[in-house]
A and B are shown apart, each in its own frame.
Chain A
Amino acid sequence: MRVAVIRFPGSNCDLDMVSSLAKIRGVQPKLVWHEEDLSDMDYDAIVLPGGFTFGDRLRAGAIAASSPALSKVKALAEKGLPVLGVCNGFQVLVESGLLPGALLRNAGLNFVCKWVDIRVENTKTSFTRSLKQGRVLRMPIAHGEGRYYLGARELERLEQEGRVVFRYCDPSGRVGKESNPTGTLHNIAGVCNKEGNVVGLMPHPERATEPLLDPEGLADGALVLSSMASRSPR
């Protein structure tokens, strides 16, 4: 599976994403500069990595969202290509309208970098289809603007359609205020589009693909990244 990791000016998790994907069996990642040609003949999936695209001027992810590269990503997403946005990549997906909602300044106003637990809520997406419902995954977050927001009625619909993919929880899987690091609505850490091929999440799976880098010695992020390469549901 050929995966394009798109690098914008200001992306800073691009190389981390490429090196982590390269460890996943069956995945061949390629770093693609945003001005390069991106045709669906070349790639089987697209990843928008974290960082501060275009310095997060205007709003986080806003300028990348209106770039020519994103129009191509949109067209490919409509054809059903799996698209994953992590952190700033999630912000870009939300800004571009590929995913609903907005990512606001964290409730504490500070940037938060810490390891968190998230619970898998939807196993029908391209990036969770090899995972079990309710499975708890450990990975780090690192962002200043990750408080997911959506109007009450739309949020209700999003929940009904099962489009919340990941929710912050405690290590046992319990979702509560204590395990919400940013004040995000309904503890939302990641959502998907209707079809489930476009997923965005704030936590960084690429930073959790080796036991060496996880204080608990796990590698849960690899489960998310390898899901896209698995042929069939679990």
Chain B
Amino acid sequence: MSSTVAEQLGLGLSKDEIAYIRKQLGREPNETEWSILDAEWAEHSSYKSSKALLKLFPTTGERVVLGPGYDAGVVDVGDGYVATLHIESHNHPSAIDPYGGASTGIGGVLRDILSVASRPIALVDILRFGLISESGHSRWLFKNVVRGIADYGNCVGVPTVAGEIEFDESFEKNCLVDVACVGVGRKDDLILGEAKKPGDVLVLIGGSTGRDGIKGATFASANLKADAGSDRSSVQVPDPFIKKLLMDSILEMVSQGLKIPGMKDLGGGGLSTALSEVASKGGTGVDVELKQVKVRESDMTPTEIMISESQERMLLVLPASAASGSGGVIPVLDKYGVPHSVIGKVTSKPDLVVRWGGQIVADLPAVLVTEAPLIPWPSRKPSKPIGATRGRASKSEPSLKDALLALLSSPNIASKRWVFQQYDHEVGVRTVVKPGQADAAVMRLPNGRFLAIKGDGNSKQCSLDPRSGAAGCVAEACRNVVAVGGEPIALVDHLQSGDPSDPEVYWGFRESLNGMADYCRGFGLPVVGGKVSFYNEDSATGRSIKPSPIAMVVGLIEKESSITTMRFKKRGDAVVVIGETRPEMGGSEYGAKFPVPKASAGAPLANVKSDLATCRAVLGLIEAGLVDAVHDCSSGGLAVALAEMAIAGEVGARIDIRGVPTMCGTQRETLFSESHGRFVAAGKDGNAVVAALKKAKIPHAVVGAVGGEELVLSGDSTVRLGVSSMASRFEGTIPELMG
């Protein structure tokens, strides 16, 4: 046989990889074996293009119980409890079938949280689409992704509490759908995805195995085709009801303290990936009989069963006695009507042995399956920004008032109420700070503490400068968590870019990763998990997406009194700007709409040292009870931050722009620059706030006071904006676009 076998099977493996497999095995793999390797060696499962670089992330810390490499990252939140977190994307499936793709994305990330034996308590969605103001296709994607998330998340009863949405032309065909989940569990209950003990049995539970999602991981690891509609069978079919039963049964087993030596979700690569990973992690092998797998279609081949990515399935590793029905696990599954079947056992020989009616149809070393050779892609700094789209900025400079109104009605900044009202964000009775109220969501933990959660990205800034842009994503997520009173304790990342074989795209990926890693190290923030997604480009235009790293940060809040929201609360409160504004208009929301002078067209630089000091100072103000409203400055700059605080509080403020600590030459830049490291806060005793910030050596100034029905910005000229007219722009934009 020659490499035509691989060609006939339509594998995603490269010529080098095919040669490597033959050499390692010393023989020609059969069709099933090729397909298993193809599924597990797909970029999606193997991280072959990124693994070497991912080592740069700091992954340890006092609170880290489990870092990257497992189904979920685990951090200690005190009193025997842990928070678990994971992030997933479903970009390619969502680009083709936005409803099903987004739903199954949630299904997948929920299983990751469940597989470590924790209860999912919050979902976070970070979404990117083309320009919904111009493109019907993007509106269609947006509407159905949101509905897919809503229908799935609402049904399983896990609240969707936070997120971020960005609209940019580079995502017109290849939208990005990132879903993250946070769980809570007991440290003593943790279960890992490994099979350590030969003799234990493997039990497949949940939905049946069908032909949906076949080659999903391979599909996710290639560029979208122009006729992408023909790939619909690669998208899995979601069933939140079965997921709910799966979830309830597993949580019941955990709460009963039943012995489950290992648990693993079936995601990309299906059984191939789950079986080889539990064996490889446990240093064992597995021997499975595929006739025991419950299939949806009776004529499925062993290959199809091994690589199917049908949803709502989990693999349990159980002591042989438990599987016989006496041990308690089986009765719980039966109570919830969750199908289960013993499909094989753990062996001491470290091989993945697959049988069909007793006959061996695949026999591969587990480690060969899980350890694809890494690819050292070349990288080259591009001459122009990656994923750059044609400029849309108008030629003329608007008045400050018109500029602010235009930004408030930009879909990137406008209220996302249309989205989050479709999500049940209350179920679970844990959501203390809800969507739209503050920079991050705050969830109650069972030990009386609180968890702040936020995910952020900034594709425009990352396109201009992937390194500082990616650092900025972490910076912003940290600020958001700090603004509600949380001390950042852990992060999961998601790095998304185009085709890694393009040296310029790969350069962007490396730069983003480095920027994120450096910032995390400087902040003392461990990365406990993450995901990489390449091949995000559309072949109709041949253009890569803008590099889009995402950071989801969780923070711990010790006491209820520290929980802070952004709305201006009391008339007469002093308004304080914290941190310095620099002329950094590159990649800003203002810059996307209006002309920006060359001298200030660079992307904002995130300085981790000063950011950390500023964040600490802000937490100090919150804990001392000196401020009652805090908001970070990001998209739209200081002007938008002030407007949002006024809109949320339904009260105005009088602000003197001349007082703002700034390096900018013009008040326009001071108002709209998107420099990092800044907050706006309000408090009764301005002098006490000033004294605390002075002591911490953080640039700051009291710039005005809360009151009136207008936001008044005085400087070279005076801008007056009625709070209700700002609110109608802010609230009205997305509902109007979406009908």
Contacts and interface: CB of A to CB of B under 8 A. Distances in A.
Interface of A: 9-10, 12-13, 16, 19-20, 33, 50-52, 54-57, 110-114, 140, 142, 144, 204, 206-207, 210, 212-213, 215
Contacts of B423: 111, 113
B128 interface: no
Given A54-B241, A213-B431, 16 more contacts: A9-B245, A10-B241, A12-B427, A13-B427, A16-B429, A33-B335, A52-B154, A55-B240, A113-B421, A113-B426, A204-B426, A206-B429, A207-B429, A213-B429, A213-B432, A215-B437
B654 interface: no
Contacts of A52: 154-155, 157, 240-241, 244
B254 to A, nearest CB: 14
Contact of A207 (B150, B151, B239, B426): B426
Contacts of A212: 432, 444, 560
Contact of B421 (A16, A20, A114, A215): A114
Contacts of B546: none
A186 to B, nearest CB: 23
Interface residues of B, number: 33
Given A9-B245, A52-B155, A112 B240 contact: no
Contacts of B420: 113
B424 interface: yes
A110 B422 contact: yes
A19 B437 contact: no
Nearest to A109: B147
B336 A113 contact: no
B86 interface: no
22 contacts: A9-B336, A10-B244, A12-B155, A12-B157, A12-B244, A13-B157, A52-B155, A52-B241, A54-B241, A56-B155, A57-B241, A111-B421, A111-B422, A112-B422, A113-B423, A113-B426, A142-B424, A142-B426, A204-B426, A207-B427, A212-B432, A213-B431
Contacts of B240: 52, 55
Contacts of B157: 12-13, 51-52
A56 B154 CA distance: 12
Interface in B130-179: 147, 150-151, 154-157
A215 B438 CA distance: 12
Nearest to A17: B429
A200 B57 CA distance: 53
Contacts of B90: none
A140 B424 CA distance: 10
B425 interface: yes
B92 interface: no
Nearest to B248: A9
Contact of A113 (B147, B242, B425, B437): B425
B156 A12 contact: yes
Contacts of A114: 421
Contact of B429 (A20, A33, A51, A113): A20
A54 to B, nearest CB: 7
B428 interface: yes
Nearest to A209: B429
B434 interface: yes
B615 to A, nearest CB: 25
A101 to B, nearest CB: 23
Contacts of A50: 427
B103 to A, nearest CB: 13
Nearest to B435: A113
Contacts of A10: 155, 241, 244-245
A111 B150 contact: yes
A113 B417 CA distance: 10
B337 interface: yes
A215 B154 contact: no
B472 to A, nearest CB: 30
B427 A142 contact: yes
Given A52-B244, A212-B444, A112 B421 contact: yes
Interface string B223-243: 000000000000000011110
A113 B422 contact: yes
Contacts of B421: 110-114
Contacts of A110: 147, 150, 421-422
A51 B337 CA distance: 18
A29 to B, nearest CB: 14
A110 B242 CA distance: 23
A215 B424 contact: no
Contact of A215 (B147, B239, B245, B434): B434
For the complex of A and B, the 5 pairs showing the least CB-CB separation, nearest first, are: A12-B157, A55-B241, A142-B424, A16-B429, A52-B155
Contacts of B335: 33
B271 to A, nearest CB: 25
A130 to B, nearest CB: 22
Nearest to B150: A111
B557 to A, nearest CB: 12
A173 to B, nearest CB: 20
A117 B83 CA distance: 34
A111 B560 CA distance: 31
Contacts of B425: 113
Contacts of B560: 212
B125 to A, nearest CB: 14
A144 B147 CA distance: 11
A84 to B, nearest CB: 17
B387 to A, nearest CB: 32
A52 B154 CA distance: 9
A208 to B, nearest CB: 9
B78 to A, nearest CB: 19
A144 B335 CA distance: 28
A206 B430 CA distance: 12
B421 to A, nearest CB: 6
